[in-house]
Structure 1
Amino acid sequence: MITDYLRELGSAALTGWNRFWFSPSDPATLGFIRICTGAMLFYTHLVWSKDLLGFFGPAGRLPAEYARSLHEFNLFADSGYAWSHLYYLESPQALWICHLLALLILLLFTIGCCTRITSVLAFLITVSYAHRAVGALFGLDQINGFLALYLALGPSGAAFSVDQWWRNRRQGGSVQEQPPQLVMANVSQRLIQVHMCIVYFFAGVGKLMGQTWWAGTALWGAFANLEYQTLDLTWLAWHPIVVNVMTQLILAWEVTYPALIWPRLTRPLMLCLAIPLHLGIAIGMGMTTFGLIMLVGNAAFISPSLLRRLFSPRKQAEDSKQSGKRPAGQGAENRNLSVSSGKRRPQTQRV
């Protein structure tokens, strides 16, 4: 009896594991995240252009040898994890040429051109700048880094991209009746989802170690800090209950995010709460890029079918008309399913 139970338990766990990670899915969500992440990468690297030599030049604020010395305190200092091609650019001309090429690659990645190549290069560029500008970065660059990595692993150019448009042109302008279902699209999207859960879990648990979060006053510390005051919110000092409620709500949301983001009933609520939270950080605390990139990470939980309806309404209307003309039973076979629903599509394509 015990042996049968353990065998059944192991089989069910393995089936669930394979369904979660390796069910093929529509790459629409991945394509949407690629556009948003690529635009953020392009912008965050473009701003270095305002004083490129001042940051990365031989006589700049962060000389190569100084940056390398900072990495010596890192656990992975001797294993190559702090590699950057910018260390080897000594002349201003070479630095500017490589910087402009990097911006071009990031732009091509954003529009989905030669994505299989530009996605990998975009990740390497992101990591190289992060390692070279050590000490001048924060959470935004970490989110940029893991999003770029997972987009490079998956078919991020399979939807909403120049690559997709070019494939359709080579096929005589024909458009696929149903979007491709790719295993690696699901793997990449799941990696982003799991990583976002880890980020929020440790952010919430870390806050539990702070006394002001238990007291409900932590948010006031941010409002009263002049360095973060894009908007003057000090008037909330006259409404301490509001500050307490907002503080406790943020804490509860972050701690419960890894559990409540998965069920279909609570997922919309968690995503809706993420919008005012991160827009508040973006607008009220001067961290616009960080607030926006966190919303991009949350987009991994949006159904591909919803994004198809939002960004390809004409195509969806044509599919609906065609499905209405099919014999009974065929429409159900080709129904567009959400990647997070855990169901398999009958027609699959592996990459």
Structure 2
Amino acid sequence: MKTWLFFFRINIAGFALIHFLSIQPDFNDLYSYHGYVYPDIMDNTTDTISLTLVGLQGILHKIGYETLLWICRIAFPVSLLMLIAGLFTRVSAIVALFLQLLLIKSVHLYEYGVDGFTTFALFYCCIFPVGRVYSLDNRLLGKREVDDEPYLFLLKAHLSIAYFFSGFDKVIGVTWRNGEALWKVMHSHNYYSIFSLDFLAKTPFFVISCWATMILELAYGIFMNVRVTRPYWLMGIVLLHLFIALFMGLFFFSALLIILNLSAYYVPTLKPAQSGL
């Protein structure tokens, strides 16, 4: 059902908005000249292709860096709100994608996996007809039918490839095969766990968990696309990301991956009455 496009649009835009709002207490420390690293010093460590706030300010000249920073700080959430509402949907998505990349590349030393997934999700909002379902654009321009199958196939293919290579990267490493990788992750200073699982140290828990993760990811493209096994594999993937959230503290990463999986493999299977739309 085409309602997955609506689900995808509001959840991706809503997620990006909440993620952006969550860094507001530290925004100046990350981006301004009063922060941890001067923006021009940070800019010297980035690649020569990506546009940054410092680079954009150099192009605009007349607009000061702090003024430009405030413009982006306001424009990004506004574009996401317009995307949620489905108002000038494609333009809003393009603006949101541009500003997300601009902001992330400006502090690239702090970016991690969730930022890359947010980028491709917003990119899909640009090319998918997400404004054709339950949007203000429909009210203003009239409802137009759209074939959503090619876009859904693309999203499924992207996730299948991403999970396969994630699993492949793990299986070629000995620490994932013997359970050491999970043990290290849960004792790293970079991650946060709600409680310790050290009491399971002498059990096969860590080995089994590592192998379960690798199997889920390597076989994702097969069993997520078979109707009989899809509900069980989807449940396994959701549980995997809940585990990552609770025992690694990667709440935003886990939430985004769950949204993407539900968009691709759960919501399209619902009837309108079941989806509440």
Question: Does the alignment reach a TM-score above 0.5?
Answer: yes
Residue equivalent to 1:126:
100
Residue equivalent to 1:88:
56
Between 278-287 and 104-113, the greater mean CA deviation after superposition: 104-113
Following the alignment from structure 1 to structure 2, what is the Cα–Cα distance between the partners of residues 144 and 104? 17
Code of the residue aligned with 2:25 in structure 1: it is K
**Deviation string for 1:50-77 (max 9, x for gaps)?**
23332222453343433332224xxxx3
**Deviation string for 1:1-37 (max 9, x for gaps)?**
xxxxxxxxxxxxxxxxxxxxxxxxx431121011111
Residue 278 of structure 1, CA deviation = 0.3
Asked whether the 8 Å contact 1:150–1:191 carries over to 2, the reply is: no
Uncovered stretches (5+) of structure 1, i.e. residues with no partner: 1-25, 314-351
Residue equivalent to 1:182:
146
Picking from 186, 200, 209, the partner of 1:223 is: 186
How many residues align structurally? 270
Distance change in 2, residues 1:277/1:307 (3 Å): farther
Residue equivalent to 1:302:
266
Residue equivalent to 1:198:
161
**Deviation string for 1:223-251 (max 9, x for gaps)?**
23344233123344355222222221111
Residue equivalent to 1:318:
none
TM-score by length of 1: 0.70
Following the alignment from structure 1 to structure 2, what is the Cα–Cα distance between the partners of residues 66 and 91? 14
Between 58-67 and 127-136, the greater mean CA deviation after superposition: 58-67
Distance change in 2, residues 1:194/1:63 (3 Å): farther
Q: CA RMSD in A?
A: 2.4
Residue equivalent to 1:349:
none
Residue 290 of structure 1, CA deviation = 0.3
**Does structure 1 residue 63 correspond to structure 2 residue 26?**
no
TM-score by length of 2: 0.87
Residue equivalent to 1:267:
230
Residue 307 of structure 1, CA deviation = 5.9
Question: What SS is found at the alignment partner of 1:245?
Answer: helix
Between 136-145 and 199-208, the greater mean CA deviation after superposition: 199-208
Between 213-222 and 114-123, the greater mean CA deviation after superposition: 213-222
Code of the residue aligned with 2:26 in structure 1: it is D
Residue equivalent to 1:29:
4
Asked whether the 8 Å contact 1:223–1:232 carries over to 2, the reply is: no
Following the alignment from structure 2 to structure 1, what is the Cα–Cα distance between the partners of residues 95 and 24? 19
1:1-351 residue pairs with structure 2 within 5 A?
Answer: 26-72=1-47, 77=48, 80=49, 82-85=50-53, 87-89=55-57, 90-164=64-138, 166-167=139-140, 181-183=145-147, 185-238=148-201, 240-299=203-262, 300-304=264-268, 306=270, 308-312=272-276
Code of the residue aligned with 2:176 in structure 1: it is W
**Deviation string for 1:259-287 (max 9, x for gaps)?**
22212222222111111110111122111
Between 206-215 and 236-245, the greater mean CA deviation after superposition: 236-245
Asked whether the 8 Å contact 2:132–2:146 carries over to 1, the reply is: no
**Deviation string for 1:130-166 (max 9, x for gaps)?**
21111111000010000110111011122243334x2
* Identical amino acids, percent of aligned pairs: 22
- For the pair shown, which has the larger CA radius of gyration, 1 or 2? 1
Uncovered stretches (5+) of structure 2, i.e. residues with no partner: 58-63
Residue equivalent to 2:60:
none
